[in-house]
Chain A
């Protein structure tokens, strides 16, 4: 790649989906709250909790985060005798780490669905005449239906006892709520046509 002075384009932020798991740090700390564990054990626990969603898990990321937590003295790493590879380390929560977990468990902040941006898109489309709001709604509905189908299929593939199934149920219910709101959008902009 040539080095030059053209400023890098501002990276396009990922569209907000409203379901972001913000804090992988706190998640790992919380998993250590019961007892010390090795990195691969933490990974396995996350995989169990996330089920088919665990494809987002990046093993490397877990170790990078654990190293950060170690530097911040939220965890204490002890090396087993047989070697010094990262995956031989056992991590234990420090007092500061435990406090962070307690704060996290009590934190009531909630991932927000992002209807405001979409709403403004419809307003802008109508105001500029550049796009028909009903057309925008239709395209969005289709996209959400495809997501709902995939999430529902994944939910159906989980057993009743699966804890990951509960997460998928949450995804499905939120997509359904979004689709209901799109119906309201379609009704509004449909009746405002030609005004």
Chain B
């Protein structure tokens, strides 16, 4: 059997801002293949270009050079209308600041992308309900405005919205950046469950908990990948030894 083609493939991807002396090469020659069902964490210090890279991957920004294929679409050759369709149908975004529409209830926030994709209101409603159920928010969030929810709950709604059109890839930008420790665990549980269901995930983060639980961990510095790790195998020590528990 031939190995499946990666769902996302970037070659020598570059993004420049400014020009001449003020030129900043935010993404500088990135090669990346992401397989179906893989979870990839991209880590690095602030300003290393990881968010810019994520925006390129999701068609929110145009690359300055290089090639990028998502599903069967070559993004460097795609006009804005095509990118809008890609962002709606093929990728789901999760942001640090949630970016929910404050005037809409959680349910309506999730319905929105489904409606934009052309579904009937009835279908969009059913789909939104289903999504809220999947993120464990069905009895909590349906008729609540985002402002009435905790940070962790808002992020779960945002994840439900990202999933609403069954995206091929979920792209997340610091999804736990605004969350406390317990809410982070909730969101990680959710990502874990998505991953188990075969969802492809690319997460940009400096949260080492996300990095440690991903299939693949890529370190980025100054716009380029500097290291790649797969954390295979268990720890040589039992969990209790990590805690230093000696009874």
**A interface residue numbers (CB < 8 A to B):** 16-22, 24, 46, 50, 52-58, 61-62, 111, 138, 142-143, 145-156, 160, 167, 169, 171-173, 175-176, 179-180, 183
Contact = CB atoms under 8 A, between A and B. Distances in A.
Contacts of B213: 149, 152-153
Q: In the complex, which of the residues B188, B209, B227, B238 has the most CB atoms of chain A within 10 Å of its own CB atom?
A: B209
Interface in B188-230: 188-189, 192, 208-209, 211-213, 217, 227, 229
Interface residues of B, number: 30
- Per CB-CB distance, the 9 closest pairs between chain A and chain B, nearest first, are A19-B244, A56-B240, A17-B244, A149-B212, A20-B244, A148-B212, A56-B245, A53-B240, A145-B212
A17 B236 CA distance: 14
A154 B212 CA distance: 13
A47 to B, nearest CB: 11
B185 interface: yes
A146 B234 contact: yes
A57 B231 contact: no
A111 B245 CA distance: 11
Q: In the complex, which of the residues B227, B238, B243, B244 has the most CB atoms of chain A within 10 Å of its own CB atom?
A: B243
B211 A171 contact: no
A44 B227 CA distance: 45
Nearest to B181: A169
A56 B235 contact: no
Contact of B185 (A145, A147, A156, A175): A156
A55 B229 contact: no
B79 interface: no
B246 A151 contact: no
Nearest to A46: B247
A145 B240 contact: no
Contact of B229 (A46, A50, A61, A142): A142
A148 B245 contact: no
A18 B242 CA distance: 9
A21 B45 CA distance: 35
27 contacts: A19-B245, A46-B247, A52-B239, A53-B240, A53-B245, A54-B240, A57-B247, A111-B244, A142-B231, A145-B211, A146-B231, A147-B237, A147-B242, A148-B212, A149-B231, A152-B185, A152-B213, A153-B213, A155-B185, A156-B188, A156-B192, A160-B182, A169-B182, A172-B209, A173-B181, A179-B208, A183-B45
Contacts of A54: 240
A146 B189 contact: no
Nearest to A22: B246
B243 A167 contact: yes
Given A21-B246, A150-B239, A145 B181 contact: no
A53 B239 contact: yes
A175 B189 CA distance: 19
Contacts of B247: 21, 24, 46, 56-58, 61-62
B244 A152 contact: no
B188 A17 contact: no
Given A56-B246, A145-B211, A146-B235, 18 more contacts: A17-B241, A19-B242, A19-B244, A21-B247, A46-B247, A50-B240, A53-B243, A56-B238, A56-B241, A58-B247, A61-B247, A142-B229, A149-B231, A152-B185, A154-B239, A169-B182, A171-B243, A183-B45
